[in-house]
């Protein structure tokens, strides 16, 4: 590939990636401006485990892993099936989730609380019924403590596990990250979220009897495997998907109907993440906005 063609391909990738993850082709959505404002350093701040994990490129794989595992709770899957517009606007749903994650990580405390309240208001509308693992009909609400806890531990586990596989050092280690991110869970209503890696593993194990696989899970997994990305991006996405599958415990892969590739996909994922990092650059607009806010607060 010539230099000019590579540059054009990289520019196309960058624009589509930024639009996918932020909703804007320049990677700076309107809500980033809120991160630049505020009166404190936020719940975490520079040097925190949360900044290190959520500011890293492995979040691309973590998001895939989290979406896959989330489908295994029939209540959560019912909420996605009944209320989510993921078929019509899958990237819109993704960018909405990213908005909350990034805002809570990098914004000041007031903005983080406001964004969490927005998510909670949306949850208040999501309700219905589902068949549990025993085939019994159960009511659900996105605000149920069980479902809130499920989503929190799945996301925490996914981001921690993927960063440990493909990221760098976590300040304070895994326990520090889990302890910090418990605050994010509390902001959206999670009761007593895990505050150590051991507690996180115990919380996931406690959900094992609830997990269920059915045609809805198969449909969601098929969609996550083949999302509506540009054809030029699909080869790289397929590697990231294979990496996410490889990062899962064997029991989860079995429930999801997935097999680990015999190819060296963990290494291949590392290469793709490096390439994506080169395309997107090392600077995060959200982290830059947070650092600018903190520098302003420190200026006499």
pLDDT at 1 over 50: no
The two tokens of residue 142 are: 């996105």
pLDDT at 234 over 50: yes
The two tokens of residue 212 are: 């269920």
User: What DSSP string runs through 250-298?
Assistant: HHHHHHHT----SS-HHHHHHHHHHHHHHHH-S--HHHHHHHHHHHHHH
pLDDT at 189 over 80: yes
Q: What is the pTM of this model?
A: 0.89
* Greater model confidence, 19 or 122: 122
Contacts of 191 (CB under 8 A, 6+ apart): 145, 148, 149
Could you tell me what percent of the chain has a pLDDT over 70? 85
CA 43 to chain centre: 19
Distance CA 231, CA 116 (A): 35
Q: Is the sign of the CA dihedral 188, 192, 196, 202 positive or negative?
A: negative
Question: In terms of Cα–Cα distance, which of 101, 66, 82, 100 is closest to 204?
Answer: 66
Each residue's pLDDT tens digit, 35-51: 999 999 999 999 999 99
């Amino acid at each position: 590939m010539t230099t000019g063609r590579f540059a054009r391909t990289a520019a196309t990738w960058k624009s589509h990636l930024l639009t996918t993850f932020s909703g804007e082709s320049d990677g700076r959505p309107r809500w980033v401006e809120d991160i630049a404002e505020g009166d404190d350093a936020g719940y975490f701040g520079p040097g925190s485990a949360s900044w290190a994990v959520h500011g890293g490129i492995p979040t691309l794989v973590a998001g895939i892993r989290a979406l896959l595992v989330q489908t295994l709770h029939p209540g959560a899957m019912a909420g996605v099936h009944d209320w989510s517009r993921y078929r019509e606007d899958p990237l819109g749903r993704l960018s909405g989730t990213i908005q909350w994650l990034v805002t809570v990580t990098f914004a000041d405390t007031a903005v983080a609380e406001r964004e969490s309240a927005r998510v909670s208001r949306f949850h208040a509308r999501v309700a219905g019924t589902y068949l549990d693992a025993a085939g019994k009909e159960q009511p659900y609400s996105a605000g149920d403590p069980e479902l809130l806890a499920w989503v929190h531990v799945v996301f925490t586990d996914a981001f921690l596990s993927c960063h440990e596989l493909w990221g760098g050092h976590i300040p304070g280690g895994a326990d520090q990250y889990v302890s910090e991110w418990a605050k994010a869970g509390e902001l959206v209503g999670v009761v007593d979220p895990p505050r150590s890696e051991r507690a996180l593993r115990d919380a996931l194990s406690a959900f094992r009897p609830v997990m269920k696989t059915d045609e809805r899970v198969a449909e969601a997994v098929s969609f996550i495997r083949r999302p509506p990305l540009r054809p030029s991006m699909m080869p790289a996405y397929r590697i990231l998907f294979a990496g996410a599958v490889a990062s899962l415990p064997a029991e989860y892969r079995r429930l999801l109907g997935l097999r680990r590739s015999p190819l060296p996909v963990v290494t291949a994922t590392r290469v793709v993440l490096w390439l994506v990092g080169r395309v997107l650059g090392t600077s995060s607009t959200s982290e830059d906005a947070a650092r600018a806010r903190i520098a302003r607060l420190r200026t006499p």
